[in-house]
Copies of this chain bind each other. A is one copy, B any other.
């Protein structure tokens, strides 16, 4: 069976998730499209890289991502670094003829994303942006219902992503609060997942009208560079640095098929953890999903008998998308790992079968264009049309 060598750039939380996916993918989807081989991992210091290789099961390690990108043994470059480094690595990887999977958001903005899209297109390599939440079987089931017309023409979409890990003003000034590294705040970090849901399930967004807020304008500077996502609290007299990204945004959206909607995200919602939700109303039914209870999809069909109409709680399992490859009984449990395993499966399939991956850098670019439009709209206080923002890539 064919083996594909992976060079992974970055060894943090996302590196762990991707490494598990490389190890697990063939166990779930067999015969696998190809066997992922954890060939080389890159981190910023020799010590970190060596440790990451041992921990995550990579054969080699390096501190020089350019070397790895250009290593002829490598088939795939996997980018799990902070946002501001995505473009340079991805473009270099494309030029070296490597397939590229890149964590989201794809770039610091649409302009940068376009250069990445152009690079992979020109190189003819496969490319994927890692919006893993759409791999959740319940989300894929929603897509299936919609495509089969089971809830009819879609009228409206409501999406939220609520977390609380940065609600405490003493949680540290992670790179996720710095515009130059992250591009944007809650918008890029979590809101783009909702935008991905909206485009995946409903269709292209044409106009946005948004507000943003930065609730906590400065935070304690953390001594190490590590991204602890709010779990480490500062105490005492710690110097603080400015937050220059959004903590929260709300946007209204219009879709090109006539549907309307709203998208909201915040990392300051006490009690919400990974509350990534959507509710979709169609002419013949409704769907509701909450990632915090991700084994479940809620669906209501309008043609159910009058005395037995209501939302069904469908637990995804073997009868649903990806289900044959997962666990034999619904609710044995989809975790974060499984979403990444499915993502890896789909990416490897696109490589081996030479088909377009989805979501790919074009999707990533369009999400960036929408994110840019949201920021522009919030600043100007008016509707911003995407038609002027999205320029087709060469």
Stretch at the interface among A77-85, A101-109, A290-298: A290-298
Instruction: Please determine whether B315 and A313 come into contact, CB atoms closer than 8 angstroms.
Output: no
Q: Which positions 31-59 of chain A face chain B at CB distance < 8 Å?
A: 31-32, 35, 51, 54-57
Residues A319 and B331 in contact in the complex (CB < 8 Å), given A55-B30, A271-B285: no
Q: Is the CB of A270 within 8 A of B281?
A: yes
**Are B270 and A300 in contact (CB-based, < 8 A)?**
yes
Q: Which of B27, B264, B333 contacts A158 (CB 8 A)?
A: B264
User: Across the interface, do A27 and B56 meet the contact criterion of CB distance under 8 Å?
Assistant: yes
Within 8 A of B (CB), among A354-389: 381-383
Beyond A27-B19, A328-B13, is A308–B317 a contact (Cβ under 8 Å)? no
CB distance from A19 to the nearest CB of B (A): 6
State whether A318 and B269 are in contact (beta carbons under 8 Å apart), knowing that A23-B23, A250-B262 are contacts in the complex. no
List A146-166 residues whose CB lies under 8 Å from chain B: 150-151, 155-156, 158, 160, 162-165
Per assembly, the copies of the chain total: 4
Interface size class of A (residues with CB under 8 A): 35 or more
Of all chain B residues, the one with the shortest Cβ separation from A382 is: B382
Kindly specify which of A114-122, A209-217, A344-352 makes contact with the partner chain: A209-217
Smallest beta-carbon distance A291→chain B, Å: 7
Task: Give, as a whole number of angstroms, the nearest-CB distance from A341 to chain B.
Answer: 9
* CB closest residue in chain B, given A377: B209
Q: How far is the CB of A46 from chain B (nearest CB, A)?
A: 17
> How far is the CB of A365 from the nearest CB of chain B, in Å?
26
Q: List 16 A-B contacts (CB under 8 A).
A: A16-B27, A23-B24, A26-B56, A30-B51, A35-B54, A150-B308, A165-B329, A211-B254, A213-B260, A270-B284, A271-B309, A271-B310, A274-B331, A292-B295, A308-B314, A335-B338
Given contacts A167-B281, A335-B337, 12 further A-B contacts (CB under 8 A): A13-B327, A23-B24, A30-B55, A31-B55, A141-B307, A162-B281, A209-B381, A231-B318, A252-B252, A262-B264, A293-B293, A333-B334
